[in-house]
Amino acid sequence: MTPVDVLNSEYHSIVEFLNENSQPSLSSDVNKYFKKVIVLSSASYFEHRIQDILTKFVEEKTNNDICAINFFKKKAIGMQYHTYFTWGEKGNPDKPGKNANSFFALFGDDFKKAVEATIKDSPALDLSMKSFLEIGHLRNILVHSNFAAYNLDNKTTDEILELYGNSVPFVDFIEQVLKR
């Protein structure tokens, strides 16, 4: 169970309690704020996972060379996640990125082409990639807007949770292709 799954469980418990105690306004407010929390939590979870995947990739490729690992952690992995993907059209929640080619191209054109073909041949993986990019895109809109005032009304909580669930296989895929 991931931290995002724990948050979802807690959210459902709170909403259930409020609904059982005839508090529909509070339940609605919890839902409104939880949507933002789940977007940020999901994006943060994926960022952490991908940074961990990249660290393990560098460890393996450098034969655990501490100097190389530290260099990559400080200059290529830490604080660079936002540059790995083309997340989407700034300020437009309905225009997330279309693919992860910018990320895969960081490993070379041949690698990018091979991964792109794999994704193209798998509708489920393509959906997972697009869900992942949409979570990251919504995260960027939230953190670069007035977070407290921003109304994330283009998605329901269930739709955001579905995006999260759909995204997990794509992150798993990244881990798999970098282990080859």
Domain-wise residue ranges, the chain: 3-179
Give pLDDT, residue 29: 87
DSSP-based helix, strand, coil % in the chain, nearest 5: 75, 0, 25
Give pLDDT, residue 36: 93
Pick left, alpha or beta for residue 91 (phi over 0 → left; psi -120 to 50 → alpha; otherwise beta). left
**Pick from 112, 114, 90: which is nearest to 101 by CA?**
112
Query: CA 151 → CA 4, 21, 36, 57, distances in Å?
Result: 21, 26, 9, 38
Give pLDDT, residue 102: 95
Give pLDDT, residue 88: 93
pLDDT tens over the chain, length 180 residues: 899 999 999 999 999 999 899 988 888 888 888 999 999 999 999 999 999 999 999 999 999 999 999 999 998 898 899 999 999 998 888 899 999 999 999 999 999 999 999 999 999 999 999 999 999 999 999 999 888 888 888 899 999 999 999 999 999 999 999 997
3-state secondary structure of 151: coil
Which tokens go with 73?
């952690």
Give pLDDT, residue 168: 97
Give pLDDT, residue 103: 96
Q: In whole angstroms, what is the distance from residue 41 CA to residue 51 CA?
A: 15
Give pLDDT, residue 78: 85
